[in-house]
Amino acid sequence: MNIIIALALFASCVPVRADDTTAPAAPAAPALAAAAVAAVAATAPAVKVEKLTLASGIKDREPLDESAVFPTGFPVYCWLKYSVTNPPASIKYVWTADGKKVGEYPVDLKGEAGRWWAKKTVWPGAWKVEVVSDKGASLASAEFTVTAAAPKAEAPVAAPAAPATPK
């Protein structure tokens, strides 16, 4: 990118002699700079999120039990189906709990299309997982809630047996 900017700046310079009083011709640099930027943009990888979902598991590369509410102490899976123009590309899964970042996991996407997932063991609160491009742009996000585990029911305590009476 620095080369393109330098090229655009260089192309916009018009040499003028110190004793030259005529106005220089309008430079063609804006067109050259725009073409250079367009060329880079055309070859830069672009990630498209086709589906993002949350699940309690993965089987045969597909999400199981999709939900937005999960119990504490179990992993939550963030499953992604994507396509990429001009691979490879990089993304990050960014996990937040109650507004605070608690995890960030980079992923390199090598093919033009595929599925990828990340998992995190969670605790009670309001959660969000966001898929972010290597440039920091948000590609997709999902919010979910983690509930506290229900208290275990205790087995009733049996009353002590009455003493045996002799017969």
- What is 111-163 written as a DSSP string? SSEEEEEEEEE--SEEEEEEEEETTS-EEEEEEEEEEPPPPPPPPPPPPPPPP
Q: Give per-residue pLDDT as tens, 33-60.
A: 555 545 444 556 799 999 999 999 999 9
Sketch the domain layout of the chain as residue ranges.
Answer: 46-147
Using CB atoms within 10 A of its CB, is residue 24 exposed (0-12), middle (13-18) or buried (19+)?
exposed
Measure the CA–CA gap between 78 and 54, rounded to whole angstroms: 5
* Top CATH class, 46-147: mainly beta
pLDDT, tens digit (0-9, with 9 covering 90-100), for 101-154: 999 999 999 999 999 999 999 999 999 999 999 999 999 999 999 999 655 555
